[in-house]
């Protein structure tokens, strides 16, 4: 089968010489609000700005005075449930949305070396060993991320027909494989990485040097998560 050479990150962005990322990984977000009034005020202001309306517009829609709305948005007052209900109707969000910033958990999973949970996936029948390195369900990002340590041995078979939604990132740790993505082949050695759209058929096509180990990080939208 004829193959095409893979593109590098630099080739994808010839003008800048580096990927045009939309998010600064070193940026510091505002800390989680510990004060309930501040948390509510932050959400009211955020939802109002998302709709593109002014405080005056919101006052007219709710019957709440401008002074009261200003105090609510600045966290200087504890609004009543009746007031919050009026705001939720005017902003088109559930009442509980105003408490999100106050009560939303941010979890972390720590896995000691060698303690990842081994599980069965589609490639298990081909002799691929999967160790899941962590999982956080119902997180605040709206994205599910599945990190795996995959081990291939002499008993493993090639299995180049994985296909699923989302994106996948591979990082080669040990050994060498020829990895297929669509109609392209990538010779992967320790230190090499591959990032791709997982909806195309993919998988290790040739096991060049065994045992082989690589990280596989799969991400896809969280079911039922809305903006």
Q: What DSSP string describes 144-203?
A: EEEEEEEEE-TT------B--SSEEEEEEEEEEEEEEETTEEEEE-TT-EEEEETTS-EE
| Residue 225 dihedral angles phi and psi, to the nearest 5° | -90, 130
Q: What is the mean pLDDT of each run of 10 residues along the chain (227 residues)?
A: 50 52 57 72 92 94 94 91 93 88 65 65 65 74 86 78 90 96 95 95 92 94 59
Q: From residue 45, give the alpha-carbon distance in Å to each of 17, 27, 54, 71.
A: 39, 22, 10, 11
Does 5 reside within a domain?
no
Angle between helix axes 81-91 and 55-62 (nearest 10 degrees) is 110
In whole angstroms, give the CA distance from residue 45 to residue 167. 34
Q: Are 19 and 12 in contact (CB under 8 A)?
A: yes
Is there a single domain that holds both residue 82 and residue 131?
Answer: no
Show Cβ contacts of residue 216 under 8 Å, excluding neighbours closer than 6 positions: 147, 148, 149, 150, 168, 169, 170
Is there a single domain that holds both residue 138 and residue 57?
Answer: no
pLDDT at res. 56: 94
The total number of structural domains in the chain stands at 2
Is there a single domain that holds both residue 163 and residue 203?
Answer: yes
Q: Are 121 and 193 in contact (CB under 8 A)?
A: no
Show the tokens assigned to 3.
């193959």
Is there a single domain that holds both residue 199 and residue 142?
Answer: yes
Does 45 reside within a domain?
yes
Is there a single domain that holds both residue 190 and residue 140?
Answer: yes
Show the tokens assigned to 166.
């989302």
Q: What is the CATH number of the domain that holds 187?
A: 2.60.120.10
pLDDT at res. 12: 47
The residue range of the domain holding 45 is 36-99
Model-level pTM?
0.56
Does 20 reside within a domain?
no
| Residue 140 dihedral angles phi and psi, to the nearest 5° | -85, -5
SS3 of residue 224 by DSSP: coil
Is there a single domain that holds both residue 58 and residue 92?
Answer: yes
The CA-based angle 198-119-106, given to 5 degrees, is 70
Q: Are 156 and 177 in contact (CB under 8 A)?
A: no
Show Cβ contacts of residue 34 under 8 Å, excluding neighbours closer than 6 positions: 102
């Amino acid at each position: 089968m004829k193959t095409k050479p893979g593109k590098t990150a630099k080739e994808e962005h010839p003008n800048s010489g580096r990927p045009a990322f939309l998010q600064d990984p070193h940026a510091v977000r505002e800390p989680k609000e510990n004060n309930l009034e501040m948390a509510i005020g932050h959400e009211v202001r955020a939802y109002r700005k998302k709709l593109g309306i002014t405080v005056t517009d919101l006052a007219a829609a709710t019957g709440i005075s401008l002074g009261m709305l200003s105090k609510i948005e600045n966290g200087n007052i504890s609004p009543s449930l009746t007031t919050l209900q009026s705001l939720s109707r005017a902003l088109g969000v559930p009442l509980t949305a105003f408490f999100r910033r106050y009560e939303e958990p941010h979890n972390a999973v720590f896995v000691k070396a060698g303690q990842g949970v081994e599980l069965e996936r589609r490639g298990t029948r081909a002799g691929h060993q999967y160790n899941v390195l962590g999982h956080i369900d119902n997180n605040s990002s709206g994205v599910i991320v599945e990190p795996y340590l995959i081990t291939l041995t002499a008993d493993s078979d090639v299995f180049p027909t994985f296909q699923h939604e989302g994106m996948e990132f591979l990082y080669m740790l040990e050994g060498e494989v020829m990895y297929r993505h669509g109609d392209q082949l990538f010779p992967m050695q320790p230190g090499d990485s591959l990032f791709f759209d997982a909806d195309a058929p993919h998988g290790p096509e040739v096991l060049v040097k065994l045992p082989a180990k690589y990280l596989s990080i799969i991400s896809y939208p969280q079911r039922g998560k809305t903006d």
